[in-house]
Structure 1
Amino acid sequence: MDSFELNKVIGAFLAVVFVMFSVTLVSGTIFSSHAPETAGYAIEVAEAAPGGAAAPAEAGPSIIELLATADADAGKSAFRPCAACHTAEKGGPNRVGPNLWGVINRPIASHEGFSYSAGMREFSQGSSVAWDFEHISQFLKAPRSYVSGTSMAFAGIKNPQQEANLIAYLRTLSDDPAPLPQPAAAQEPAAEEGAAEPAQSTPATDGTEASPETDAGTPAEAPAQE
């Protein structure tokens, strides 16, 4: 090989080295990684209460309270994602999930013609109640946590008012919608108004005070114990 050919080989080699070095510099500039400002992941924990115990989370209004002002029309809009797996009309077919006409107060895992998961069937056997407002509320919050083994692929509703609106809409899917439950605060005044007034003693004619149990001035005879 003469000197001209040798120079060509050496030049080609140097050209390849130069190109590879240039590509390395450019790629390092484009795809360079930067260290995060704060190392690791931020984990939120409950603020500790005095004494070292974790402060309990504030409880929001119950589903019973939210249903009093829930909007069924807004709930119908919230139902749209559910329509991918459920039908809502009377006599509608089952899809991935059962038809939901009349679901409020319907016995759990009881809709005819639908093959329920083993987890749902087991849950229905351990629960003597139907899909009342409380049960369906807890299920919609976190289906897989509330019913272990359910095949319902839904993460749950995190917005309490949206959940109440959806349940209000599900309530309308019936020829005879279930009555809305009354909040406990609304029931207390009614109970107080219906309470009987305490009996008042009447003075006896012989100067002795009559007992509240009888009008004759002597205590009533106690009933026999069974």
Structure 2
Amino acid sequence: MRSTALFIVLSAATFFASPTQAQDAAAGEKVFTKCKVCHIADQDQNKVGPSLHGVIGRTAGTHPGFTYSTAMIEAGKSGIKWDEATLTKYLHDPKAMVKGTKMAFPGLKNDQDIANVIAYLKQFSK
């Protein structure tokens, strides 16, 4: 009886102590192949989309040399910075979060894929 209660308490503590998904950068690199048409993460180079090198902590709409939509520039001016929470929301449905964004990608629907892509991006944002 006591061992069952201890197991339940430890399980609940583990669940509440780690609200974010486990992240796997190698799996994120595979998911990122969907993004490579427009973005680069391992180099600071713009393509059709802005470079994602150093994106974690960057204010939205501010990467030098990239022509952002007015909506993305305004998102940055309103205080949006790319951290795990904002990237998770944006990658799930870019057009819903920043109405008027030029990003044509419809988003990633799998939460684990999003967590993994963020882990991949973190490698290039140190």
TM-score class, shorter: 0.7 to 0.9
Aligned counterparts of 2:20 and 2:84: Cα–Cα separation in 1: 11
Per-residue CA deviations over 1:6-53 (Å, capped at 9, x if unaligned) read xxxxxxxxxxxxxxxxxxxxxxxxxxxxxxxxxxxxxxxxxxxxxxxx
Equivalent runs, 1:32-111 vs 2, <5 Å: 65-66=20-21, 69-91=22-44, 93-111=45-63
Aligned counterparts of 1:64 and 1:114: Cα–Cα separation in 2: 34
Q: Which of these two proteins has the greater Rg computed from alpha carbons?
A: 1
User: Is 2:71 the partner of 1:119?
Assistant: yes
Per-residue CA deviations over 1:135-192 (Å, capped at 9, x if unaligned) read 1110000000000100100111111111111111111113x2xxxxxxxxxxxxxxxx
Name stretches of at least 5 consecutive residues in structure 1 with no aligned partner.
1-60, 177-226
Indicate the structure whose relative CO is greater, using CA pairs within 8 Å and at least 6 residues apart: 2
Distance of aligned partners of 1:150 and 1:65 in 2 relative to their CA distance in 1, 3 Å threshold: same
Aligned partner of 2:62: which letter? S
What SS is found at the alignment partner of 2:51?
A: coil
Q: Write 1 or 2 for the structure with the bigger share of helix.
A: 2
Aligned counterparts of 1:124 and 1:100: Cα–Cα separation in 2: 15
What SS is found at the alignment partner of 1:84?
A: coil
Aligned counterparts of 2:61 and 2:71: Cα–Cα separation in 1: 10
Picking from 161, 164, 168, the partner of 2:115 is: 164
Per-residue CA deviations over 1:48-79 (Å, capped at 9, x if unaligned) read xxxxxxxxxxxxx9x9511xx21110000000
CA RMSD of the aligned region, Å?
A: 1.7
Aligned partner of 2:71: which letter? G
Q: Which residue of 2 aligns with 1:140?
A: 91
Q: Which runs of 4 or more aligned residues in structure 1 lie more than 3 Å from their structure 2 counterparts after TM superposition?
A: none
